[in-house]
Amino acid sequence: MPRPRVSTTPAIVLRQRKLGDADKILTLFTANRGKLEAVAKGVRRSRSKLAGHVEPLSHATFQLAQGRSLFIVTQAETVESFTPIRDDLDRLSRGLYACEILDRFTETGEEHFELYRLLLDTLRRLSVRDDIDTPVRYLEMQTLDVLGYRPELDECVTCRKQLAAVTNYWTAAAGGVLCPNCRPGELSVRPVSPNAIKVLRMLLHARWSDVERITIDPDLAVELERALLEYVRWVLERDVRSAAFIDAVRRPRRGARPPVGPVARIADA
Ligand SMILES: [Zn+2]
């Protein structure tokens, strides 16, 4: 019998599910072969050497053997365990959401090194920053862009006129922003403030080193979160389960006011 092909790759564990009595199937996002599924055998037994290295969010080096239908994990060694994320429900909810986004948006076997780097960078940002929303917004927008779902943020998606710095309308269904003249009465469209459009453009075009310097006030953070989640749901044609987890564990945003409309401010940090 030919020896099974073995390869070593860094990967992030997106999720895991039980298999039989002692095993787990891991969904891994690898650096050079995109998403794949691999069986971690015996990992639910107390003496398993693998167990500590295969938890969701772990960044580890995996040795994988090509099995008949799935990969088999033969070794795993944690590189980063992201303890600050695991120790804080608020951070954990964002980390799991980031993993779910990449899991939902990608198919197994497609190589996505750019998205692998983006997820890894996002988990590092979630480990250290006070503002844990902006890294997630950046991940959402960059993922949409890389996979060809970039929203139109410069001109009205209907009349194609340049958007003015007024309240416009957000429409995931039409792929971006509608001007006030084209806003249909009957469709549910969400008002989007000039400041939100400014930040959305930065999330799309700017490098993280520029994005991380902006301070986003609580009302604007809510506006951006709702707009991008709506967009992501529309593209995926399904809900993102961990979005509900974020809501359930969310700390009250400091200074948050009840939603009274697009009254928000961006200030340079
Ligand atoms: Zn228009």
| pLDDT at site 261 | 36
Distance (Å) from CA 187 to ligand 1 centroid: 15
CA dist., res. 29 & res. 10, Å (int): 9
* Model pLDDT for residues 14-67, shown as the tens digit of each residue: 999 999 999 999 999 999 899 999 999 999 998 898 988 999 999 999 999 998
3-state secondary structure of 251: coil
60 within 8 A of 79, measured Cβ to Cβ: yes
Q: Is the pLDDT of residue 264 over 50?
A: no
Compute the distance between CA of residue 113 and CA of residue 59 in angstroms, rounded to an integer: 14
CA of 41 to the centre of ligand 1 (A): 57
Those residues whose C-beta lies under 8 Å from the C-beta of residue 76, and which sit 6 or more positions away, are: 40, 50, 53, 54, 60, 61, 62, 63
Q: Reduced to 3 states, what is the DSSP secondary structure of residue 29?
A: strand
Domains of the chain: 6-81 (2.40.50.140), 84-268 (1.20.1440.120)
256 alpha carbon – ligand 1 mean position (Å): 32
Q: Cβ(236)–Cβ(106) under 8 Å? A: no
Distance (Å) from CA 140 to ligand 1 centroid: 25
CA of 170 to the centre of ligand 1 (A): 12
Residue 213 has pLDDT above 70, yes or no: yes
